[in-house]
Structure 1
Amino acid sequence: MNLFQLRAFDAVAREGSFTRAAARLFISQPAVTGHIKALEEHYQITLLRRTARRVELTEEGTRLAAITRAMFSLADEAQVMLEANRQLLTGRLEVAADGPHRVMPMLASLRARYPGVTVNLRLGNAQETLAALLSEHADVAVMTEVEPRKGLYLQALSASRICALVPVAHPWAQLSQGIRLKDLDQVIMVLREPHSITRRTFDDACVQAKVNPRVLLELDSREAVTEAVAADLGVGVVSSVEVSHDPRVTAVPILGEGLVNRHMIGCVERRRDLRLIQAFFELAPA
């Protein structure tokens, strides 16, 4: 079945004229005539009656016109939808992130610039976020400390620093210049689970500096760490981009080697040229 022939027939049926059909399709009138002639000859059917003044549909032509009108109306609707998506008037973006603090400002910028785009955000730990991206359950991901690999496109964001989280009444709360990593030796601490990127970075730095904090409580969320610190159960650690605005606690920079985390946006390499993914990357802060 030749869709060009069907499109020409549909245009004539809609316009009632070969001339107007040609103008509708931006082709010549002989081309329209040739398409319809070929269609009728191939299927041994008469679809149109041609007179000197008008074009009329036969019974078979009327039945076919009902089909082609529905078919090409759907095609036109698809084109409108695709064009709107290309211009980012509509669309859906699946985003994964290993924390809310980096991604939320980017989503706010996306909403301001492209209000018709719908976003589905999934938050998880570092492993879950990377897995969602590599399995293409997410279009883009905001991640921490991801190593380059084949098939993965990464764009760097600004780095963050590991801070100590202490109650506001703690003596360190006034040390805005920071504390030394060795000051945490034998200090009672409440930390995230070992799989947390922040925890892993902190542990590695402690090993390198031969610092041995006393980890008496491990928790599965940043919020839980904040509550534990506020209850004076120990000193916590937090990334500088994840500092809570809770008035009960304050974050103090930890000075030492290996206490910086790298953050990045990623997508599957072969999908990086998709317009909606490009738009998200363009919104990344310098």
Structure 2
Amino acid sequence: MNLFQLRAFDAVARDGSFTRAAARLFISQPAVTGHIKALEEHYQITLLRRAARRVELTEEGIKLAAITRSIFGQVDEAQALLEANRQLLTGRLEVAADGPHMVMPMLAKLRARYPGITVNLRLGNAQETLAALLSEHADVAVLTQVEPRKGVHLQPLNESRICALVPAGHPWLADPAGIRLEQLDQVIMVLREPSSITRRTFDEACAKAGIQPKVLLELDSREAVTEAVAAELGVGVVSSVEVSRDPRVHAIPIHGEGLLNHHMLGCMERRRELRLIQAFFELASS
């Protein structure tokens, strides 16, 4: 069995792209393609389906990827352990986050302290970010409202408050102190999808207070909510750490119970002593 071929397959399976796999392995894209073609031909098996813009795993590919992820995950851990006493002159850190606003300052600190470190950042919703960490597609993850679980090390970062997002010129902007949660009863709103952490926190607070907003639109991104509010389709909600610098909209505080979210930095417990992960946690808490 050719480990170079398996490593190439594992990289494509992780990244879903021959180009990104080549960058991960520091070899050319044709070399990655050649390794996988040789693997498939030798074992008379189809592991990948090549589409126009993405690569998908076949059923056999999914099974093999689970094995190679474990194999090369342990190889990466062994390499990290052997290099633990080095000064982090080189290395690669896989980071996942459920939004860009909190993680970017952390990456700026990492870049300033360790300019030789390469970072791959995955942005997704809360569920995707946690899944990336648990499946070890990410070394560290910035998480919101995650419950403690066995095998995961969590470090508190900060907390944020749910705010109302209104268009410029809205009457509520006259009071800089903000609004009460009760003022949103029967108000037309444009919100993220129910699986969004911000939406979930807001819905739970409304339910507890007996408030019933009128949800006109459910949108799948913060940017879409901003555009809908700017078009005066309704009032939105946004986390205080994710307020857009857009003159068309303004965030105002909402006063009420249950409107706080807690943010944490997480990694797998068994990997928390790895030097690069330790360094990122130290920078995040400084």
Structure 1 length-normalised TM: 0.70
Note the alpha carbon deviations across 1:241-281, whole angstroms, 9 max, x for none: 00000011100010000000000000000000000000110
Whether 2:223 is the aligned partner of 1:223: answer yes
Equivalent in the alignment of 1:107: 107
Whether 2:101 is the aligned partner of 1:92: answer no
Tell me, in whole angstroms, the C-alpha distance in 1 between the residues paired with 2:174 and 2:243. Answer: 16
Question: Structure 1 91/257 Cα, relative in aligned 2: closer, same or farther at 3 Å?
Answer: same
Q: Percent identity?
A: 81
CA drift at 1:87 = 1.1
SS in structure 2 at match of 1:88: coil
Amino acid across the alignment from 1:180: R
Note the alpha carbon deviations across 1:20-48, whole angstroms, 9 max, x for none: xxxxxxxxxxxxxxxxxxxxxxxxxxxxx
Equivalent in the alignment of 1:65: none
SS in structure 2 at match of 1:93: strand
SS in structure 2 at match of 1:276: helix
Equivalent in the alignment of 1:214: 214
SS in structure 2 at match of 1:211: coil
Equivalent in the alignment of 1:192: 192
Note the alpha carbon deviations across 1:129-163, whole angstroms, 9 max, x for none: 00000010000000100000110000001100000
Tell me, in whole angstroms, the C-alpha distance in 2 between the residues paired with 1:84 and 1:231. Answer: 53
Unpaired segments ≥5 residues, structure 2: 1-78
Larger Rg, first or second structure (1 or 2): 1
RMSD of aligned Cα (Å): 1.6
Amino acid across the alignment from 2:235: V
Question: Structure 1 258/209 Cα, relative in aligned 2: closer, same or farther at 3 Å?
Answer: same
Equivalent in the alignment of 2:172: 172
Structure 2 length-normalised TM: 0.70
Tell me, in whole angstroms, the C-alpha distance in 1 between the residues paired with 2:213 and 2:275. Answer: 48
CA drift at 1:175 = 2.3
SS in structure 2 at match of 1:206: helix
Note the alpha carbon deviations across 1:191-213, whole angstroms, 9 max, x for none: 00000000000000000000000
SS in structure 1 at match of 2:273: coil
Whether 2:274 is the aligned partner of 1:280: answer no
Q: Where do 1:1-286 residues align within 5 Å?
A: 83=83, 86-285=86-285
Equivalent in the alignment of 1:14: none
Unpaired segments ≥5 residues, structure 1: 1-78
> Is the 2:153–2:272 Cα contact (8 Å) retained in structure 1?
yes
CA drift at 1:174 = 3.0
